[in-house]
């Protein structure tokens, strides 16, 4: 039954006539007989010696080292099923009793991108494919550009040429003057090429200060005396102002308080902190304590510092009186006002003068306010938390003026200068650089580390060198 | 009706805090900062801070809500968001060492495009030129920077290229007008399309470390990023306006970072200067010498010679002379002189320049060249000197440009103490009162006469005082006449087109030449004498007639003209006209007052001097008399 597979059933054949009998498979019987005959001819395995059957292999076992690199091996290993999954494999020799099983195929999550790329069925697949194509085309371009080392010049057109947005959109190119500009703007927005208008306030100046301030003539590397003196005077003025302010602050703060020695301070602090704490050694306080202790149990009732609030009711009579008084007061005041009015009739001239004076004062205030507003237009605006502080005036001190280009001593830092100018023109808010504080690290040498000391030999060499130098010096002086 | 809530209308809705803006735009603070700087949206100060901040009174950074809404439309907002995505994805690739993907990602780095923003911020080319001051100063500064933490090397390289391109334009168009050496750096002012563009070049090109405390480098770097694009487009347009090829082609080894320039600062700097000293390629075949047609000043004739027109004419003439100031001159710059500003100036006014070829590259001729006219030296003495050239200090170049004429070189000779270097930004010809000392500083011809007259007065003997005064008066009158003459000459320009200043500087030579010519002409003398004699006989002296000016008539004419002018003014401009007149009068009065003050002070001083002298004389006479008496006794 070698040919017959184990699972297969024998086919039943009818054996009605002789020709049917010929179809009978007798191969297994013949095979068996053939085997028997052969055994009789050459004998069985049991008759033979071990030496006849086996040969001892004397040559060393050749193991061919694998040509694969570690990386490739890893890749091959990755293809194999995971070892952790080996436990799940069916190793049983017992056949599955159910011959035909319905496979429950799990549906794959998401899209099969590979399939979509291979045979796109929907419009979006095609779109995605074309997009992907564009992406890789661009990538190739960039990679080749980078390899060739050529930089594309970003500036290759005149951007200030007059261009109408309508010319770029084919349908909107208006040759006959039928499409108004507003309509064109509207349509462009709907097409997806929105025309963005900049609002005018973006170009408004926020300060009237000049963009370019001419340098003071005293800042020349070789200034005329007068110009330099002027500049110096300016600097001195500024500095004096600063000093004055500082002095004022000092006067108002530091020097307002009396000074005490550190010991006195400590003593005062101790006193203040220990206020109200009774000390054990003091006899007086002890007696007080005793008195208090005596009093407390005697006076059992509750008492506070403030007197208790009483709800006093006013009588009707007193209320009436109050009302009457009020009425009287009002009448009196009205009378007084009338009297004043009549008196004012005589005073009309002086009142006029007063009014005039007041008006003048108001006018003055108005003028001052206007002037201030005008001044403010030139000053930097307050944009952030910090106020803009005018940078120092750059000036060369008279001793630094060399008078020639070779020995110029440059002042000022141009970058700071520009930065401040941007702040002054309200482009940047004034900020203060915040630096992160580094955590303090206490450093100390290891116990095992020893400082390299100075050896005796070194000291001797130094001494010798010093002596030689002094000697040489003496010589030169003599000559 | 619904009761209106607080802060739902008015100033509170007009402003938006930075935090709210960030939330609205969905950007990080750094990205927002960048966007604002690129788009030119700046914080604002509200009129009533408390109202604008919805009741809170601490000072916040506020923006116009309209501005932020405008930013919402900006396409580069998407690029900024792409950056965030890019950083995330490439970071992941790097972390899992997926280098194939990382390479792909890096190649597809989202690039920001600023062309449309430049156009949007500067609708016209002139707008861009107006804002070029800051741009140029910053780029010149950044071109000196090495690669720093927040400033990539490409940026400083780009700055270097762009600034050199711009300088080439200035040289080619000859548009430089004013230069000034200050302690800050070199100020340059060019006039491009009628706009004055001023920039500062720092003194020493090698980089000086900057403190991080004072300046936010990142912010400045963003400004520079925008300005590079802007200057690129500006250069493009400027070059095409001059028919020059853009980008200009420099020799291949120039302006490239190699081991040498990276290692050695001086070679880095010299590379820059070499790039400046070479001619640009033109797209047309026009000779460079051909003058571009200037505005015809004669067309402005209709207004007669009003003060402004005369001034404008004079200015135009001066500028046309300035453009060829150094034409035909050959300069040689010594080693110790800062070359960059000098090369720019000399080349932009038509001069030729070279330097020591053994020290720096790019020299065009040697020191031994006999055709060199000027050698610029900045040291007290020089061992070998050529007779054929002037040895001058660098300030001469700057002063010549500011005075718009070739100054006599004698004050700028080697080792000479220099005259003060005056700022060209203070207008020397302004309308207000200018004290004579300052005038003398600007016009060196005045200075000498002034000094001489003083010397003379001091030297004079006391007895001849009156005479000398008269003499001085005469001298002064003569001088005044001469000055008037020269002024007129200046005003209407030399008829024969000879540069007047050259005449001044070479006066001595001229005298010599005249003498020579006299010698040559001796043969023709006889004929000439005859002719002269004939003419002499015909000559006669007639009594001169005083031309009388009817002052009243002149005044009347002036008043009439003024009235006519006043009538011509449109009603809406009447106030402006009045203001102008009032200002003019005030200015004139002030000037007159100052001059009067000066005069009185001077006369007082003179008087006092005279008195003192007279008394001294008297005392001397008395003393002499006393001595004589004593002697007699």
pLDDT tens, position by position, B63-74: 999 999 999 989
Look at B616 and B278; give whichever has higher pLDDT.
B616
Residue B189 lies in a domain: yes
pLDDT, tens digit (0-9, with 9 covering 90-100), for B433-471: 777 766 766 665 554 443 333 444 444 444 444 455 555
Name every chain A residue with its beta carbon within 8 A of the beta carbon of B215.
Answer: 415-416, 419
B27: closest CA among B74, B66, B60? B74
Residues A410, B233: C-beta atoms closer than 8 Å: no
Instruction: Show which of B225, B256, B285 is a domain's final residue.
Output: B285
CB of A44 within 8 Å of a chain B CB? The answer is no
ipTM comes to: 0.72
CA distance B394 to B376: 6
Coil, helix or strand for A414? helix
Interface test with A, best of B184, B206, B210 (most A CBs within 10 A): B184
pLDDT of residue A170: 79
pLDDT at position A373 over 90: yes
Chain B residues with CB-CB distance to A408 below 8 A: 181, 183, 203
Share of chain A above pLDDT 90, in %: 35
Q: Which of B183, B197, B227, B426 best probes binding to A when mutated, by most A CB atoms within 10 angstroms?
A: B183
The reply to whether B511 falls in a domain is no
Measured in angstroms, the CA of B468 and the nearest CA of chain A are apart by: 31
Nearest 5°: the CA angle A119, A123, A125 is: 45
Which chain A residues are Cβ-neighbours of B73 within 8 angstroms? 194, 196
Alpha-carbon gap, residue B132 to A166, rounded angstroms? 31
Q: Which residues pair with B202 in a beta bridge?
A: B185
pLDDT attached to residue A114:
86
The pair of three-digit structure tokens given for residue B555, joined into one six-digit string:
């005044």
Low-confidence winner among A124-128, A131-135, B145-149 (lowest mean pLDDT): B145-149
Q: What is the CATH number of the domain that holds B412?
A: 3.40.50.10190
- For residues B102 and B123, membership in a common domain is answered with no
A302 Cα distance to chain centroid: 62
Q: What's the mean pLDDT in A94-123?
A: 85
8 A C-beta contact, residue B432 and residue B583: no
Query: What is the strand order of the sheet B185-192 is part of?
Result: B176-181, B185-192, B195-202
Do B64 and B175 fall within a single domain?
Answer: no
Q: What six digits make up the tokens of B399?
A: 């002063």
Tell me: do B251 and B315 sit in the same domain.
no
Q: What value does the mean pLDDT take over residues B218-222?
A: 92
Residue B408 sits in which domain range? 303-426
As given in the structure block, the two tokens for residue B467 are 């005479």
Same domain, B158 and B233: yes
Cβ of A86 under 8 Å from any chain B Cβ?
A: no
Residue B454: per-residue pLDDT = 41
Q: Is the pLDDT at A174 greater than 70, yes or no? A: no
Token pair for A43: 């004998």
> Would you state the pLDDT for residue B505?
41
DSSP string for B514-554? HHHHHHHGGGGHHHHHHHHHHHHHH------------HHHH
For testing contact with chain A, the best of B40, B42, B211 (most A CBs within 10 A): B42
> Which of A76-80, A249-253, A436-440 reaches the highest mean pLDDT?
A249-253
What does the alpha-carbon distance between residue B242 and residue B248 come to, in Å, rounded to a whole number? Answer: 12
| Residue B469: inside a domain | no
Confidence of residue A307 (pLDDT cuts 50, 70, 90): confident
Residues B374 and B353 in one domain: yes
Nearest CB to A428 within list B219, B246, B247 = B219
Q: What is the mean pLDDT of chain A?
A: 85
Phi (first) and psi of residue B375, to 5 degrees: -120, 130
Q: Give A365 or A58, the one with higher predicted confidence.
A: A365
pLDDT in tens, A426-455: 999 998 888 778 888 888 888 887 777 777
Among A8-22, B11-25, B405-419, the range of highest mean pLDDT: B11-25
Is the pLDDT at B518 greater than 50? The verdict is no
- Residue of higher predicted confidence among B199 and A56: B199
Least-confidence region, from A108-112, B243-247, B455-459, B482-486: B455-459
Q: Which residues of B touch A148 (CB under 8 A)?
A: none
| Chain A: closest CA distance from residue B215 (Å) | 6
- Asked if the model's pLDDT at residue A258 lies above 70, the reply is yes
Residue B500 lies in a domain: no
Burial A32-70 (b: 16+ CB within 10 A, else e): eeeeeeeeeeeeeeeeeeeeeeeeeeeeeeeeeeeeeee
A contacts of B67 (beta carbons < 8 Å): 201-202
Q: How many residues does chain B have?
A: 633
What is the total residue count of chain A? 479
CA distance B423 to B203: 17
Q: Whole-angstrom Cα distance, residue A307 to residue A261?
A: 44
Structure tokens at A139: 């990538």
- How deeply is B501 buried, as exposed, middle or buried, from its count of CB atoms within 10 A (0-12, 13-18, 19+)? middle
DSSP secondary-structure letter at A147?
Answer: H
**B338 against A174, higher pLDDT:** B338
Query: Of A75-79, A332-336, B81-85, B471-475, which gets the smallest average pLDDT?
Result: B471-475
pLDDT classification of B429: cutoffs 50, 70, 90: low
Let me know: does B79 contact B112? Beta carbons within 8 Å: yes
**CA–CA separation, B32 and B560 (whole Å):** 63
Structural domain ending residue among the three candidates B48, B80, B107: B107
B566: Cα within 13 Å, side-chain hemisphere = 12
Q: What is the mean pLDDT of residues B397-409?
A: 91
In this structure, the answer to whether residues B317 and B251 fall within a common structural domain is no
pLDDT reading at A151 higher than 50: yes
* Mean pLDDT on B113-120: 91
Strand partners, B190: B176, B197
The DSSP H or E segment spanning A465 is: helix A456-478
Half-sphere CA count of B576, side-chain side, radius 13 A: 5
Q: Which of B68-82, B224-238, B420-434 is predicted with the least confidence, judged by mean pLDDT? A: B420-434
Please return the burial class of A191, using the count of CB atoms within 10 Å of its CB with bins 0-12, 13-18 and 19+: exposed
Q: Which residues of B touch A160 (CB under 8 A)?
A: 119, 122, 124-125, 128, 233, 237
Of A154-163, A189-198, A419-428, B484-493, the range with the lowest mean pLDDT is B484-493
B-chain CB neighbours of A411 within 8 Å are 183-184
Nearest Cα residue in chain B from A421: B134
Instruction: Tell me the whole-structure pTM to 2 decimals.
Output: 0.68
Q: Which of B66, B141, B219 sits opposite A201 (nearest CB)?
A: B66
User: Which residues 297-356 of A are in CB contact (within 8 Å) with B?
Assistant: none
Residue ending a domain, choose from B60, B83, B107: B107
Q: Cβ of B235 and A381 within 8 Å? A: no
Residue B117 to residue A198: CA distance in whole angstroms:
11
Q: How far apart are CA B44 and CA B34, in angstroms?
A: 17
Mean pLDDT of all residues in B132-136: 94
Structure tokens at B8: 């739902």
B319 lies in the same domain as B281: no
B49 inside domain: yes
> Which secondary structure element, helix H or strand E, spans residue B330, and what is its range?
strand B330-333
Q: Are residues B254 and B314 in the same domain?
A: no
Q: Is residue B539 part of a domain?
A: no
Q: Answer yes or no: are the C-beta atoms of B313 and B202 closer than 8 Å.
A: no
Q: Give the pLDDT confidence of B281-299 residue by residue, as tens digits.
A: 666 665 544 455 555 656 6
Count of domains in chain B?
4
Residue B501, pLDDT score: 42
Q: Would B209 be classed as within a structural domain? A: yes
A139 neighbourhood in chain B, CB within 8 Å: 104, 107-108
- Closest by Cβ to A155, choosing from B108, B125, B232: B232
Average pLDDT of chain B to the nearest whole number: 82
Q: Is residue B378 part of a domain?
A: yes
- Say if residue A305 is preceded by a cis peptide, omega within 30 of 0: no
B325 plus B273 within the same structural domain = no
Q: Is residue A294 pLDDT above 80, yes or no?
A: no
B169 and B258 share one domain: yes
What is the per-residue pLDDT for A297? 52
**Whole-number pLDDT of residue B452:** 38
Residues B309 and B406 in one domain: yes
pLDDT band at A163; cut points 50, 70, 90: confident
Helix (H, G, I), strand (E, B) or coil at B181: strand
Whether residue B130 is found in the same domain as residue B162: yes
């Amino acid at each position: 039954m070698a040919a017959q597979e184990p699972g297969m059933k024998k086919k039943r054949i009818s054996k009605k006539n002789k020709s049917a009998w010929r179809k009978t498979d007798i191969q297994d019987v013949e095979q068996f007989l053939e085997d028997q005959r052969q055994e009789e001819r050459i004998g069985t395995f049991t008759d033979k010696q071990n030496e006849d059957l086996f040969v001892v292999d004397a040559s060393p076992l050749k193991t061919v080292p694998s040509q694969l690199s570690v990386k490739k091996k890893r890749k091959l290993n990755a293809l194999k099923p995971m070892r952790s999954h080996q436990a799940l494999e069916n190793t049983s020799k017992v056949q599955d009793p159910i011959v035909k099983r319905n496979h429950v195929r799990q549906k794959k999550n998401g899209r099969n991108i590979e399939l979509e790329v291979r045979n796109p069925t929907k419009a979006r697949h095609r779109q995605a494919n074309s997009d992907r194509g564009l992406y890789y085309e661009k990538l190739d371009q960039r990679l080749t550009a980078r390899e060739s080392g050529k930089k594309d010049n970003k500036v290759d057109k005149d951007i200030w040429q007059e261009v109408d947005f309508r010319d770029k959109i084919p349908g909107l190119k208006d040759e006959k003057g039928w499409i108004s500009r507003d309509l064109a703007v509207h349509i462009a927005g709907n097409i997806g090429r929105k025309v963005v208008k900049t609002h005018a306030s973006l170009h408004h100046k926020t300060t009237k200060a000049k963009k370019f301030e001419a340098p003071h003539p005293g800042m020349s590397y070789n200034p005329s005396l007068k110009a330099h003196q002027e500049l110096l005077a300016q600097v001195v003025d500024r500095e004096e102002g600063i000093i004055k302010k500082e002095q004022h602050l000092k006067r108002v703060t530091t020097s307002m308080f009396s000074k005490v020695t550190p010991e006195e301070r400590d003593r005062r602090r101790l006193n203040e902190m220990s206020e109200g704490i009774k000390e054990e050694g003091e006899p007086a306080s002890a007696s007080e304590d005793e008195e208090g202790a005596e009093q407390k149990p005697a006076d059992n009732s509750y008492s506070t510092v403030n007197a208790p609030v009483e709800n006093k009711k006013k009588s009707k009579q007193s209320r009436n009186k109050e009302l009457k008084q009020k009425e009287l007061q009002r009448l009196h005041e009205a009378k007084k006002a009338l009297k004043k009015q009549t008196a004012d009739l005589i005073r009309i001239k002086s009142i006029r003068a007063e009014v005039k004076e007041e008006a003048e004062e108001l006018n003055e205030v108005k003028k001052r306010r206007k002037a201030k507003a005008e001044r403010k237009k030139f000053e930097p605006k307050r944009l952030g938390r910090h106020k803009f502080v005018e940078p120092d005036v750059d000036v060369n001190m008279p001793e630094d003026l060399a008078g020639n280009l070779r020995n110029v001593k440059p002042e000022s830092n141009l970058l700071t200068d520009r930065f401040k100018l941007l702040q002054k023109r309200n482009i940047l808010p004034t900020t203060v650089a915040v630096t992160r504080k580094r955590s303090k690290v206490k450093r100390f040498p290891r116990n095992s580390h020893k400082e390299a000391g100075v050896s005796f030999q070194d000291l001797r060499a130094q001494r010798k060198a010093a002596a030689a130098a002094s000697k040489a010096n003496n010589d030169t002086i003599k000559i | 009706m619904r009761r209106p809530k607080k802060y739902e209308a008015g100033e509170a809705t007009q402003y938006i805090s930075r935090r709210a803006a960030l939330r609205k735009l969905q950007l990080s603070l750094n990205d927002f900062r960048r966007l604002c700087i690129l788009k030119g949206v700046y914080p604002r100060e509200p009129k009533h801070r408390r109202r604008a901040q919805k009741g809170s009174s601490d000072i916040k950074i506020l923006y116009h809500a309209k501005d932020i809404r405008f930013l919402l439309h900006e396409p580069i907002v998407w690029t900024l968001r792409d950056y965030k995505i890019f950083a995330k994805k490439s970071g992941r690739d790097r972390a899992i060492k997926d280098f194939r993907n990382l390479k792909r990602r890096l190649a597809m780095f989202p690039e920001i495009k600023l062309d449309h923003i430049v156009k949007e911020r500067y609708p016209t080319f002139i707008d861009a030129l107006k804002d070029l001051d800051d741009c140029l100063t910053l780029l010149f500064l950044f071109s000196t920077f090495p690669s720093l933490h927040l400033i990539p090397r490409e940026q400083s390289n780009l700055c270097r290229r762009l600034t050199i391109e711009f300088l080439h334009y200035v040289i080619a168009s000859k548009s430089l007008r004013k230069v000034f050496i200050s302690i800050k750096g070199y100020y340059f002012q060019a006039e491009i399309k009628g706009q004055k563009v001023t920039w500062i070049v720092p003194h020493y090109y090698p980089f000086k470390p900057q403190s991080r405390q004072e300046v936010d480098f990142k912010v400045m770097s963003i400004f520079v990023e925008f300005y590079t694009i802007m200057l690129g487009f500006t250069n493009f347009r400027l070059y095409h306006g001059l028919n020059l090829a853009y980008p200009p082609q420099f020799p291949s080894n120039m302006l490239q970072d190699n081991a040498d320039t990276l290692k050695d600062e001086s070679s880095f700097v010299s590379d820059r200067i070499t790039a400046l000293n070479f001619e640009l390629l033109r797209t047309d075949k026009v000779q460079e010498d051909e003058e571009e047609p200037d505005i015809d000043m004669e067309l402005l004739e209709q207004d007669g010679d009003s003060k402004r027109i005369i001034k404008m004419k004079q200015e135009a003439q001066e500028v046309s002379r300035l453009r060829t100031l150094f034409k035909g001159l050959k300069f040689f710059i010594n080693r110790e002189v800062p070359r960059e500003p000098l090369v720019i100036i000399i080349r932009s006014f038509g001069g030729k320049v070279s330097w020591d070829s053994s020290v720096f590259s790019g020299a065009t001729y040697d020191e031994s060249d006999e055709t060199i006219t000027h050698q610029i030296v900045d040291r007290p003495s020089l061992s070998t000197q050529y007779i054929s050239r002037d040895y001058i200090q660098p300030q001469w170049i700057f002063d010549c440009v500011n005075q718009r004429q070739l100054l006599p070189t004698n004050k700028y000779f080697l080792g000479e103490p220099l005259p003060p270097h005056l700022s060209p930004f203070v207008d020397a010809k302004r309308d207000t009162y200018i004290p004579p000392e300052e005038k003398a500083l600007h016009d060196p011809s005045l200075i000498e006469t002034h000094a001489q007259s003083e010397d003379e007065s001091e030297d004079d003997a006391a007895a001849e005082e009156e005479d000398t005064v008269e003499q001085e008066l005469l001298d002064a009158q003569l001088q005044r006449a001469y000055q008037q003459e020269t002024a007129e000459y200046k005003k209407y320009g030399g008829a024969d087109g000879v540069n007047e200043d050259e005449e001044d500087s070479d006066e001595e030579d001229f005298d010599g030449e005249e003498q020579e010519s006299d010698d040559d002409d001796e043969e023709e003398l006889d004929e000439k004498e005859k002719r002269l004699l004939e003419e002499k006989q015909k000559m006669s002296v007639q009594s001169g007639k005083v031309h009388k000016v009817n002052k009243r008539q002149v005044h009347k004419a002036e008043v009439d003209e003024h009235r006519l002018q006043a009538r011509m003014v449109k009603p809406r401009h009447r106030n402006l006209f009045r203001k102008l007149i009032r200002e003019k009068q005030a200015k004139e009065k002030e000037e007159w007052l100052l001059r009067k003050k000066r005069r009185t002070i001077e006369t007082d001083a003179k008087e006092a001097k005279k008195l003192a002298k007279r008394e001294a004389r008297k005392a001397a006479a008395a003393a002499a008399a006393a001595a004589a008496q004593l002697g007699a006794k």
